[in-house]
A and B are shown apart, each in its own frame.
Chain A
């Protein structure tokens, strides 16, 4: 009992540090983790063993693959091609960019997606002499929605995928349909919100149409090779069960092949610039902290209470998980939240058999990923996008973002509720 309280104090302290950013969140997570080892709540051996290396290597592998793909210029090319295909009409650009952002973000992590796309959208908006603010907000939202569609799109999904038996295909099979519906609904909302007041002169449009996006692909050979590797990697993800390979192995293999293709002799550039070591260590720390809650019995305590509260009814449990995750993720980082929720749901799962737990897991994923749109601080992609806007003189307050974010979040959580209820019960 004493150990449990100690573990909870460290856990709470770490959460507060992560929320307030009084110290860097990675430092906070590592501090919490090693305090737990120092105080002997968990011994070092089991603490190191609990780190989910499947998650760590999947993250590293995907960061390398996408970092090299990014170097080919293909993402910028897609963004500009999209604007031109939209005939430089602002509303059409916004809608098409929303869809493109969602698709890219399904494979690329959300922060990277907005870091590539937001500066270009500001450039495009300036060229068209309209305000870029709606572009910036909708892009962040689109990246959060799109990231939910696949196992590799958003960290909560990576965590869930690794902790459960679900394969890459399972995520697509269960999540993509609802994400497509949510994207369509969100496009409708975007259209309703922004359909008026974006007038653009012919000269401005002609300027945008004169962009030569083909110049961006400097190294065609590397682009084609990278695309082939990425395609094979996705195919291997889909055939994961038949290949009898874990997803991290597939990603790392693709990463190593691309490292050879991009530069046979030098890898430091990719390893230092493209791998977000801060995120990697953030995960490692969280795994250890949550293990302390697990070992001291806190997780079992809470999950037993949830079961008692929902009277063993998975329908109620799913709804609780969906909405609680949605609300929590809007306020706190969804990575520590999901890391904590996973052992609880695993615990609840011990009382049920077969696919009965499916709706609970998908509810966790949908709630945690989509909830991030709820407020400005709900997801890293929001903070990064607004940060870019600020640096360029576009003032966007917490409420400017949150006012729009709430509309998208409520609508997507509502769609998810209907989807879960109709599909699984």
Chain B
């Protein structure tokens, strides 16, 4: 999500006067209250801001200060920015840019990521110069939009997948496939060629399917059958059935930059518990439902 989505020109102040820190804070708070209804009034907010600054100043060497307060049950983030023509001295640090943030008592990932985005921006001198050159709040806002500042809070497949997946060659026999699955304790494997090119997947059901011909699948109900010869003789064919004969070529796979939400979506929709991760035709890894589950509960 974008930082600019939290702003508009109304939340940006271009201060040309030479003011004290408290005056700057007051202006910013007024601007918020002008556009927002908050459960507390201006004086209370100012008190909280000053109290927080007293505990530990939020000014940074890069010239950015992030005064902020936390409100119980607020469950949102409101911010206002102030760019100063005459830098302020806050606790010994020269500050030319302030961002006042009001957020929930519990610090959310979003809030933390937003702060880290602001920090990164303040360290980027070229971007900062372009912002300070802006002549009015509208131009400033447009410039912020142009900078396309992403608040990284999505989790990507590449963050949680296993990077060194086991895989099988299409020419491998069913016997080799079973041995491979057995030794790694997995129920399915991606299929790749010598160069690591992703070709498809093969899983335990594909092996069993060798013993269940199509016409059996067409019978609606098999309760009358208690044994079925082709299934029982399945393992006699271990050496003549190859992976390429039974593999699935059109399984859905993911790009490492895909979001975890997309991975979960595909898992639900296609009822599968693992998905191959492919980049540029090459197998990069495998993401399993368990990987995602562990990540979420941690």
Q: Which residues of A contact B (CB under 8 A)?
A: 70, 73, 76, 80, 115-116, 118-120, 122-123, 126-127, 207, 210-216, 218, 388, 391-393
Q: Per a CB cutoff under 8 Å, which of A127, A210, A214, A216 touches B221?
A: A216
Is B294 engaged at the interface, CB distance under 8 Å to the other chain? no
Pair B218/A119 contact, Cβ less than 8 Å = yes
A216 near B224 with CB under 8 A, answer: yes
Cβ contact within 8 Å between A73 and B218: no
Q: How far is the CA of A123 from the CA of B227 in the complex (A)?
A: 12
Counting CB contacts under 8 A, is B194 at the interface? no
- 15 pairs from A and B in contact (CB 8 Å cutoff): A73-B221, A76-B220, A80-B224, A119-B219, A123-B219, A126-B230, A211-B224, A212-B226, A213-B224, A216-B221, A216-B223, A218-B223, A392-B213, A392-B215, A393-B213
The CA of A211 and the CA of B218, in the complex, are separated in Å by 17
Q: Which residues of A contact B229 (CB under 8 A)?
A: 126-127, 207
B250 within 8 A of A: no
| A120, B223: Cβ atoms closer than 8 Å | no
Q: Do A119 and B224 have beta carbons less than 8 Å apart?
A: no
A392–B214 CB distance below 8 A? yes
* Inter-subunit contact B219/A120 (CB<8 Å): yes
Contact A123 B216 (CB under 8 A): yes
Q: How far is the CA of A249 from the CA of B70 in the complex (A)?
A: 71
Which of chain A's residues have a CB closer than 8 A to the CB of B221?
73, 76, 216, 218
Could you say which residues of chain B place their CB within 8 Å of the CB of A127?
Answer: 229
Shortest distance between the CB of A112 and any CB in chain B (Å): 12
CA distance A80 to B221 in the complex (A): 12
B296 at the A interface (CB under 8 A): no
Would you give the shortest CB distance from A388 to chain B, in whole angstroms?
A: 7
A211 to B227 CA separation, bound complex (whole angstroms) = 9
B297 close to chain A: CB less than 8 A: no
Contact A123 B220 (CB under 8 A): no
List B209-244 residues whose CB lies under 8 Å from chain A. Answer: 213-216, 218-221, 223-227, 229-230
Residue of B nearest to A121 (CB): B215
Chain A residues with Cβ below 8 Å from B224 are 76, 80, 211-216
Inter-chain contacts of A214 with B (CB < 8 A): 224
CB–CB B215/A212 < 8 A: no
* CB-based contact A76/B219 at 8 Å: yes
Among A122, A123, A216, A218, find the residue whose CB has the most chain B CB atoms closer than 10 A.
A123
A119, A210, A215, A218: which contacts B215 (Cβ < 8 A)? A119
**A135 to B: closest C-beta gap in Å:** 11
Shortest CB distance B242–A (Å): 17
Q: How many residues of B contact A (CB 8 A)?
A: 15
B34 to chain A, nearest CB (A): 53
Closest to A215 in B: B223
Known: A210-B226, A211-B224, A215-B224. A391 touches B214 (CB 8 A): yes
Which residues on the B side are within 8 Å of A393 (C-beta)? 213
Q: A122-B215, A126-B230, A218-B223 are in contact. List 17 more A-B contacts (CB 8 A).
A: A73-B221, A76-B220, A76-B221, A76-B224, A116-B220, A118-B215, A118-B218, A123-B216, A127-B229, A207-B229, A210-B226, A212-B224, A213-B224, A215-B223, A218-B221, A392-B213, A392-B215
User: Known contacts A80-B224, A211-B224; is A115 also within 8 Å of B218 by CB?
Assistant: yes
A77 to chain B, nearest CB (A): 8
Q: How many angstroms between the C-alpha atoms of A122 and B219 in the bound complex?
A: 10
Question: Please, which residue of chain B has its CB at the minimum distance from the CB of A129?
Answer: B229
Query: What's the nearest-Cβ distance from chain A to residue B212, in Å?
Result: 11
Query: In angstroms, how far is the closest chain A Cβ from the Cβ of B4?
Result: 45
A126 → chain B closest CB, angstroms: 8
Chain A contacts of B218 at CB under 8 A? 115, 118-119, 388
Question: Chain A contacts of B214 at CB under 8 A?
Answer: 388, 391-392
User: B232 to nearest A CB, angstroms?
Assistant: 11
Q: How far is the CA of A211 from the CA of B219 in the complex (A)?
A: 14
CB neighbours (8 Å) of B219 from chain A are 76, 119-120, 123
In this complex, the member of A115, A118, A119, A388 whose beta carbon has the largest number of chain B beta carbons within 10 angstroms is: A119
B226 to A: closest C-beta gap in Å: 7
CB of A185 to closest CB in B, whole Å: 30
Chain B residues lying within 8 Å of A119, measured Cβ to Cβ, are: 215-216, 218-219
The complex places the Cα of A219 from the Cα of B229 at a distance, in Å, of 28
Is A211 in contact with B223, judged by CB distance below 8 angstroms?
Answer: no
The smallest beta-carbon distance between B230 and chain A, in angstroms, is 8
**Whole-angstrom distance between the Cβ of A124 and the nearest chain B Cβ:** 10
List of B residues within 8 angstroms of A120 by Cβ: 219
Question: Are B215's CB and A73's CB within 8 A?
Answer: no
Asked if A73 and B220 make an inter-chain contact with CB atoms under 8 angstroms apart, the answer reads yes
CB distance from B12 to the nearest CB of A (A): 54
Report whether B216 and A211 are in contact in the complex, using a CB–CB cutoff of 8 Å.
no
Q: Which residue of chain A has its CB nearest to the CB of B219?
A: A119
| Residues in B185-224 with C-beta less than 8 Å from chain A | 213-216, 218-221, 223-224
Q: Which A-chain residue is minimally distant from B218 (CB atoms)?
A: A119
Question: Hey, which chain B residues are within 8 Å of A218, CB to CB?
Answer: 221, 223
Which residues of chain B have C-beta atoms less than 8 A from A73's C-beta?
Answer: 220-221
Max chain A CB contacts within 10 Å: which of B216, B218, B223, B224? Answer: B224
Contact yes or no, B223 A123, CB < 8 A: no
Query: With the chains together, A127 CA to B226 CA distance in Å?
Result: 13
A342 vs B108: C-alpha distance when bound (angstroms): 75
Give, as a whole number of angstroms, the nearest-CB distance from B231 to chain A.
12
Note all chain A residues with C-beta closer than 8 A to B216: 119, 123
CA distance A168 to B219 in the complex (A): 32
Distance between Cα atoms of A401 and B213 in the complex (Å): 23
Contacts of A116 on B, CB cut-off 8 Å?
Answer: 220
Find the residue from A70, A211, A215 having the highest chain B CB count within 10 A: A215
CA distance A213 to B223 in the complex (A): 8
B217 (CB) vs chain A CBs: closest residue: A119
B230: chain A residues at CB < 8 Å are 126
A80 vs B215: C-alpha distance in the bound complex, in angstroms? 15
Give the chain B neighbours of A211 by CB distance below 8 A.
Answer: 224-225
Contact status B215-A123, CB under 8 Å = yes
Q: How far is the CB of A215 from chain B (nearest CB, A)?
A: 4
Which residues of A have CB within 8 Å of B225? 211
B262 to chain A, nearest CB (A): 29
Chain B nearest Cβ from A149, distance in angstroms: 25
Report Cα–Cα, A212/B221, bound state, in Å: 12
C-alpha gap A120/B221 in the complex (Å): 10
C-alpha spacing A115/B230, complex, angstroms = 22
Which chain B residues border A207 with CB–CB below 8 Å? Answer: 227, 229
In the complex, what's the smallest C-beta–C-beta distance from A83 to chain B, in angstroms? Answer: 11
Separation of A214 and B221 alpha carbons in the complex (Å): 12
User: In the assembled complex, how far is the CB of residue A114 from the closest CB belonging to chain B, in whole angstroms?
Assistant: 11
Smallest Cβ distance from B240 to chain A, in angstroms? 15
